[in-house]
Structure 1
Amino acid sequence: MSDTKPVLDQVDADIDNALERLFSLLRIPSISTDPAYADDCIACADHLVADLNSIGFDASRRKTIGLPMVVAHGGPKPGTGAGPHILFYGHYDVQPPDPLEKWTSGPFEPVVKEGANGKQIVARGSSDDKGQLMTFIEAARAYMAVHGELPIPVTILLEGEEESGSKSVGPFFAENKDELNADVALVCDTGMWDADTPAISTRLRGLVHDEVFITGPSRDLHSGHYGGAAMNPIRVLAKVIASLHDENGRITVPGFYEGVKDLEPEIRAQWDGLGFDEKAFLGDVGLSIPSGEKGRSALELLWAQPTIEVNGINGGYTGVGSKTVIPSLASAKFTFRLVGEQDPAKLLEAFRAHVRALIPADCKVEFSADGGGSPALELPLDSPHLSAAREALKAEWDKDAVLIGMGGSIPIVGDFKRALGMDTLLVGFALEDDAIHSPNEKYNLKSFHKGIRSWVRIIDELAKG
């Protein structure tokens, strides 16, 4: 019998108590976006500090420039040869519950209901992120109840502003770098491939944003008096936007694909074997054909290819009815999703050079003063921490964990890399239908229970070194 089995037995025996502990956390309306709930956010942090201290962690509430962080330390001292030092991250703040009339029960009155995939915990924060972070805390609780101590050094960091911009993260990391430094960060703010298939997110796309302002005439002009003679900046902007992709959907900005790597054969084969239904995915939003580079699957376009998107256009008269005007100014907002080793600063300058080359002599172009962004992140496939997590998840779910990408960004993962020099292992148990940020947010009881068991196994595999 391994040391893990009695810990897993403890998890199973204590699951009803674990659920009630989660309910106690979910009842606290820790809404970080609304200053009226600042005291509730502090109460939530204090609740977690007390809980962590009760199971043997050295936990405390830490002051920041905004809402507090919770920091806790447990297990052997780092550097004593007891395996890798891990930093587990979660956030205790939640989104506002509005619109309240859409909830079938109180957003901060957690209940268990029957759902499509079994019993569901329904409450704001049940999936994002209180249920998720409690899977790790409950795993640590069970391990310490059975063995008296964790087998590896563990630091826990719980944030209170993830849903409102994480303004305190940068300063807090700068002031506490030595204390937070670890071998690998663990983030449980992601999901499963489906209700029975675990997933590890090994890649996050980066993000660059910019805004383009094109000025033509010195003032708005009457289109009858000047039309045909005066350059219209909307026409110039339309030309710029149309120039960004060729007929095959490939981005035309010179040097844009520098740093974009070919997809590893293992990953391509795994993604191809997932049975992802592109037509259903796009059909759900009234579309049918992937718009990116031809010849690539939708998953590859979402997870492993860069993008340029136009997020908004402004210029001329946009009110009701007609106004015969040639506007003085036209503008557009752009975002670029990055992959591989694309350099955000280099890419931004390449985009701006491409735009400048298309501006006629009678017009001028300016760009957003705060244009910039963050690079993509990837966990190397030969990472020992990734190998440990794959073994652990397969043992718990009796299926190989899918190594997926994420089309969006998780800013804290970039902060871990840039500020603390750490790679991040992203393992979560949420499902696509959890309705995070929406009314009737839920977290499957199976996700909660097997999520706890999964973290027990991951801790054990990491301890094997």
Structure 2
Amino acid sequence: MAELDKVLAQLDANLPQALDRLMEFLRIPSVSTDPAHKGDVRQAAVWLCDQLQELGFDASIRDTEGHPMIVAHSAPGGSRPILFYGHYDVQPVDPLELWNTPPFEPRIEDTPDGQVIRARGASDDKGQLMTFVETFRAWRDVHGALPPGLVLLFEGEEESGSPSLRPFLHENAEELKASIAMICDTSMYADGRPAITTQLRGLVGEEITLRAADRDLHSGSFGGLAANPIQVLVNALSSIKDADGRVTLPGFYDGVEDLTNELRADWEDLRFDAAEFLSRVGLGQPIGERGRTALEMVWNRPTFEINGITGGYTGDGFKTVLPGEARAKVSFRLTGTQNPERIRDAFRAHIESHVPADCSVSFASHGASPASRMDISDPAFAAAKAALGAEWGREAAYIGAGGSIPIAGDFKEILGMDSMLIGFAKDDDRIHSPNEKYNVESFSKGMHSWARILDALS
């Protein structure tokens, strides 16, 4: 029996014990955003570090200004060092009353889609992270040693914005450098085929506060004469998009790149059905930038979105006032080499140009990260793609992601390496929502997939 086949057989034999360990991990309520769970987050870090040390990793807990990092190393060597990244913190569980079972009492349930693991963190990201750990366990059992040249970085603040991550990467860059990073916090393509995410959109978030009169005003006495800050704000925001769905800010499309012919053909082969996708949320008519395909718009084109507006009287009943203040929260998704700070500056200048002389505006930044695009000419991508296809019986796809995973950009900028984003979550895993789940098949075949990728790269 080939060594890889022995590892795969070992993973199958140990699946019940691997599920037991995952259940133990899921019982720890490591909610990083809630100070009341600070001790639980550390407990999860200790549990995970103990698991890695038991496997033979040189593993340690590294304290930060926030929650701790875990760094682990196998013996040096190997054809190319590989960094594995995941996070052990989880989202809050609110609203608790919408959970069908207690979120930190994990269980396996039978569903029409097969058996699933039901718990907070099952998919995002404890179940995915443990596909790494259990693969390393089986590899050690078969080979007598861990794969050489592994670097593990597991963080406890991803769900709270990773405030300690960039400083930690800068301070420990030499220790963490590798040839490529593996990130498990992603999903398969919608139709269930395995995928490698090769590009991610960046993000700029802004909050605007526009002030007019020093108090709310009676609309009968002042309407038509005094500035209405909500009206001023919506006029300014609505003019950021034209009738073709394009953003009007000067220089906004600087650095935006069209698809290569190869990637366009790959994406067309995915046969994405925009109407079906929208039907899942009660819609059916795609809108957006004219002349672009649906996958282009969600993966490869930048956007501007208004995320919320408040101001004036919004309580029960009716109250005729001109508000003294209006607020809005907006976001931009970025692609290519768009510069987040230049876009922020252009946005603020646009808003300021619409504000009357006797009104004032202030801004609050809510993050800025550039887009990430991986160099798939690295032979490791083709090797991983083939390994995934061999496991799942379907050719793996190179896909994009409409969201932002800043860690991929941080690895590129600070550590100088590309990332492979390979995960086995499904679209219906309800991450960040009540009743989160992770399919047992995703857990089992996810471990198989990492074993195949390790074998292909070693």
Q: Is the pair's TM-score, using the shorter chain for normalization, greater than 0.5?
A: yes
Which position in structure 1 is the counterpart of 2:399? 404
Residue 439 (structure 1) aligns with: 434
Aligned-residue offset at 1:190: 0.7
Structure-1 residue corresponding to 2:12: 12
1:238 and 1:31 map into 2 onto residues whose CA distance is 36
Deviation at 1:301, TM superposition (A): 1.1
2:143 corresponds to which residue? 147
Change (3 A) 1:206 1:164: same
**AA aligned opposite 1:38:** K
- Is 2:365 the counterpart of 1:382? no
For 1:426 and 1:460, the matched residues in 2 are separated by 18
CA shift in 2, pair 1:30/1:317, >3 Å? closer
Q: Distance in 2 between matches of 1:225 and 1:14?
A: 76
Q: Is the 8 A contact 1:279 1:288 kept in 2?
A: yes
What's the secondary structure of 1:33's corresponding residue?
A: coil
Q: Which residue of 1 aligns with 2:38?
A: 38
RMSD: 2.3
The Cα of 1:166 is off from its aligned counterpart by 2.2
Distance in 2 between residues matched to 1:199 and 1:412, nearest whole Å: 19
Q: CA deviation at 1:147?
A: 1.4
1:324-339 aligned within 5 A: 324-339=320-335
Question: Which of 220, 237, 240 in structure 1 is aligned with 2:236?
Answer: 240
Letter of the 2:70 partner, please give it: V
Quick one: distance in 1 between partners of 2:222 and 2:100? Answer: 59
Q: 2:121 aligns with which of 120, 125, 129?
A: 125
Q: Distance in 1 between matches of 2:158 and 2:139?
A: 28
Equivalent residue, structure 2, for 1:253: 249
Change (3 A) 1:459 1:356: same
Q: Secondary structure at the match of 2:428?
A: helix
Q: Which of 152, 164, 167 does residue 168 from structure 1 map onto?
A: 164
Q: Give the conservation status (yes or no) of the 8 Å contact 2:183–2:421.
A: yes
> Post-superposition shift, 1:307?
0.8
Distance 1:123 1:221 in 2: 50
Instruction: Report the Cα distance in structure 1 between the residues aligned to 2:205 and 2:430, rounded to whole angstroms.
Output: 27
Secondary structure, in 3 states, of the residue corresponding to 2:365?
coil
| Residue 357 to residue 387, structure 1, CA distance change in 2 (3 Å) | same
The equivalent residue for 1:179 is 175
User: 1:431, 1:207 → 2: CA distance?
Assistant: 23
Provide the residue aligned with 2:266 in structure 1. 270
Is residue 430 of structure 1 aligned with residue 425 of structure 2?
yes
**Greater shift after overlay, 264-273 or 124-133?**
264-273
Instruction: Please give the per-residue CA displacement for 1:102-152, whole angstroms capped at 9, x wherever unaligned.
Output: 444443333222122212122222211111011111111111211123444
> Unpaired runs of 5+ in structure 2?
none
Matched residue, 1:284: 280
Distance 1:124 1:232 in 2: 44
Is 2:414 the counterpart of 1:416?
A: no
TM-score by length of 1: 0.91
| CA distance, structure 2, for counterparts of residue 44 and residue 135 of structure 1 | 16
SS in structure 2 of the partner of residue 370 of structure 1: strand
1:382 & 1:424 partners in 2: Cα distance? 13
Q: Which amino acid aligns with 1:62?
A: R
AA partner of residue 49 (structure 2) = V
Q: What is the distance in 1 between the residues matched to 2:275 and 2:146?
A: 46
Unaligned runs of 5+ in 1: none
The alpha carbon displacement at 1:157 in A equals 1.3
Is the Cα contact below 8 Å between 2:202 and 2:406 reproduced in 1?
Answer: no
Task: Report deviation, 1:367.
Answer: 3.5
One-letter amino acid matched to 2:15: I
Amino acid of the structure 2 residue aligned with 1:421: G
**Residue in structure 1 matched with residue 201 of structure 2 by the alignment:** 205
Shift of 1:251: 1.3
Q: How far apart are residue 67 of structure 1 and its match?
A: 2.2
Conserved? CA contact 1:196–1:397, under 8 Å:
no
Greater alpha carbon shift after TM alignment, 342-351 vs 110-119: 110-119
What residue is the counterpart of 2:307 in the other structure?
311
Q: Which runs of 4+ in 1 moved over 6 A?
A: none
SS of the residue corresponding to residue 199 of structure 2 reads strand
Q: CA deviation at 1:372?
A: 5.1
Cα deviation digits, residues 27-61 of structure 1 (max 9, x gap)? 22323233333333222222222211222211122
Could you tell which deviates more after superposition, 285-294 or 334-343? Answer: 285-294
How many Å apart are 1:62 and its aligned residue? 1.9
1:160-189 Cα shifts (integer Å, max 9, x gaps): 222233232233223322211222221101
Q: What does 1:334-353 correspond to in 2, within 5 Å? A: 334-353=330-349
8 A contact 1:345–1:372 mirrored in 2: no
- Contact conserved, 1:10 with 1:142, CA < 8 A, in 2? yes
Deviations 1:384-409 (A, max 9, x none): 33222212111211222121221111
Question: Structure 1 residues 363, 7: CA separation in 2 closer, same or farther (over 3 Å shift)?
Answer: same
Q: Is the 8 A contact 1:199 1:401 kept in 2?
A: yes
CA distance in 1, matches of 2:104, 2:235: 50
Shift of 1:195: 6.5
**Cα offset for 1:220?**
4.5
Evaluate the alpha carbon distance shift between residue 321 and residue 441 of structure 1 in structure 2; reply closer, same or farther with a 3 A threshold. Answer: closer
Distance 1:211 1:319 in 2: 22
